[in-house]
Amino acid sequence: MKPTDTRPYFAAGIAAFVIWGFIPFPLKALAAYPSGQILYFRVASALVVLLVISLVFRRRKLLSTFAALQTAGPREKRTFIGYTLLGGLLLTINWLTFIYIINHINIQTGSFSYLLCPIITAVLGFLLLKEKLRLNQWLAIGLSALSCALIGSGELTSLVFSLLTAFSYAFYLITQRILKNYDKIVLLTLQLLLSFALIGPFYSYFKGDSMVMLDTHFFLNIGMLSLVFTVLPLFLNLFALKELTSGSIGILMYINPILNFVMAFLYFNEHTTTTKVAAYVLIFISVILYNINLKGRKKSGDGLVIPPVGTTAIRP
C-alpha cells in the first residue's frame, strides 16, 4: 500500500496552532468591553456556527453519537453526562480567565499558562489516570514548579490567573481523554450549549455597568474570534489528527504560546522583569526536557501531554 502523504496534515496542524497563536489580536481589539460580555457573545456565536455545521453537514455523526449513547449502559451514560457537564464548565472558566488575562494582565501571562498546561496535564494524568512518567519528565515538572514559584514571588495575581487557566484547560483535556470514544465536534457543541445555558441568565452581571456600545466593531471581532480563531482551527486540528501522531501534534502545540510571547514583546510592547525572564526560561527548558526521547514514547502517550489521536484540543 502506498504510504500516506502527511504533508497536508502537517500543514493543517501548523496552520491551526499558528491561528491560535494570533488570538490576542481580536481579544485586544475588544479590550474596552467586559471579559464576561466577550465570553457571552463568543460562546453564543460559536455555538450557532457549530449547531449549523452539526445539523446540516455532520448530521450523521450527530445521530450516530446519540445512537451509541442510547445503547450504552447506565454507568456509561452517567459518565457521558457528568463529564460533558464538567467539560462545559471547565471550558467556560478557561475561556473567561484567558480573555481576562490578555486584556487586563498581559499576553505573557496567557502564554505562560499554555506552556505550563501540558506539564500540569501530565501530573493530572499521573494522579487521575495512573499514567507513567519518566525521570526526565519528573525533572521537567520540578522545573515548572520552580518557574511558578518565581512568578509568584514577583506577582502573585499573574501566577493565580496562570494556574487557573492552565488547570482548567488541563482538567478539560482529562475529561476529553475519558470521553475519547465520542465525536469531538458533537461534544464541543453540547459543551458550548451547556456553557451558554450556564452564563446566559447572568448576562447583565457579565455586562456590569459598562456603557460601551455593541457596534459593528464589536460584532466583527466577535465573529473573527468565533469563526477564525475557534471553529476553523478546530477543524484543521481534527484533520491533522487523522494522520499525525500524538507526539507530532504535541510538538506543534507549542507554536501557539511561542507566538504569543513574540507578539507580546515585538508588537504589543510589553515589558517584563528579570525574575519573570528567569521563570520563562525555566518553563522553556522544562518543555524541552519533558519531550526528550519523544519518538520513543508509547503510542498511548505517557503523561498525556496532549489528547491522544482521535481527540482534539480546544484552545482558548
- Tell me the pLDDT tens digit for each residue of 31-50: 999 999 999 999 999 999 99
pLDDT in the model for residue 13: 85
Q: Does the residue 306 lie in any domain?
A: no
Partners of 311 in beta bridges: 309
Q: Does the residue 311 lie in any domain?
A: no
**Between 279 and 190, residue with greater pLDDT:** 190
Q: Does the residue 263 lie in any domain?
A: yes
Q: Does the residue 2 lie in any domain?
A: no
Q: Does the residue 102 lie in any domain?
A: yes
| Domain carrying residue 169 | 7-296
Partners of 309 in beta bridges: 311
pLDDT at 308 over 70: no
Q: Into how many domains does the chain fold?
A: 1
Report the chain's terminal Cα–Cα distance, integer Å: 39
The mean pLDDT value of the chain amounts to 84
Q: Does the residue 1 lie in any domain?
A: no
Give the integer Cα–Cα distance in Å for 282 and 293: 19
Neighbouring CB atoms inside 10 A of 75's CB total 8
Residues 11-36 have pLDDT tens digits of: 988 998 899 999 999 999 999 999 99
Distances (CA, A) of 180 to 51, 79, 87, 132, 309: 21, 12, 13, 19, 9
DSSP string, 212-234: ----HHHHHHHHIIIIIIIIHHH
Residues 71-117 have pLDDT tens digits of: 888 899 899 999 999 999 999 999 999 999 999 999 998 988 888 88
Q: Does the residue 184 lie in any domain?
A: yes
Predicted TM-score (pTM) of this structure: 0.86
Q: Does the residue 79 lie in any domain?
A: yes
Mean pLDDT computed over 204-214: 84
pLDDT at 305 over 60: no
pLDDT in the model for residue 250: 67
Pick from 45, 100, 91, 21: nearest CA to 225: 45
